[in-house]
Amino acid sequence: LTPEETLRYFGRLRGMRGDGLRSRIKEVIHLVGLDDWLTVKIEKFSRGMKQRLAVAQALLHDPPILILDEPGLGLDPRGVVEFREIIAGIGKEKTVLFASHQLVEVAQICNQIAIIDHGKLLAYDSIAELEKKYQSLERAYLELTGGVL
């Protein structure tokens, strides 16, 4: 399948049709930077391109919140930077909640952070406040989770 075919399939599952669906597909494809790849078979995509398509699919029905799990996992450095820019751009329009163990990535994208360990919320604050209190996000994470410093 191509990104266009994939998104059309998932859009139809959500009850989207016609010009509205075509317009939204173009919009989300542009948002994730896959404009030139709309009709290329997904099997030729890199991991980063597949992750971009997954974000486009998640955004297709225009949810108020976008939830991502380890969005930068397995990406090369260029892919991480590009993906970070995409997520930051989406974050200007809607709430983005994502799980990550990459604290550098978190610090560069987020304005609020929740530290969760074994299902328990240990902290929820701005990055600036956590860094002020613990000197760094890494130190906050280690101290709050009982890790070794």
DSSP 80-139: HHHHHHHHHHHHTTSEEEEE-S-HHHHHHH-SEEEEEETTEEEEEEEHHHHHHHHSSHHH
Average pLDDT in the chain: 92
Return phi, psi of residue 115, to 5°: -100, 120
Select 3-110's CATH number: 3.40.50.300, 3.90.1150.10, 3.30.230.10, 2.40.110.20: 3.40.50.300
Kindly indicate the confidence band of residue 1, based on its pLDDT and cuts at 50, 70 and 90.
very high
Q: What is the pTM of this model?
A: 0.81
Q: What is the distance between the alpha carbons of residues 43 and 109, in angstroms, rounded to a whole number?
A: 29
What is the mean predicted confidence (pLDDT) over 78-97?
88
Q: Give SS3 for 8.
A: helix
Asked if residue 81 has pLDDT above 90, the reply is: no
- CB 77 within 8 Å of CB 28: no
Give the CA angle between residues 58, 69, 128 to the nearest 5°: 110
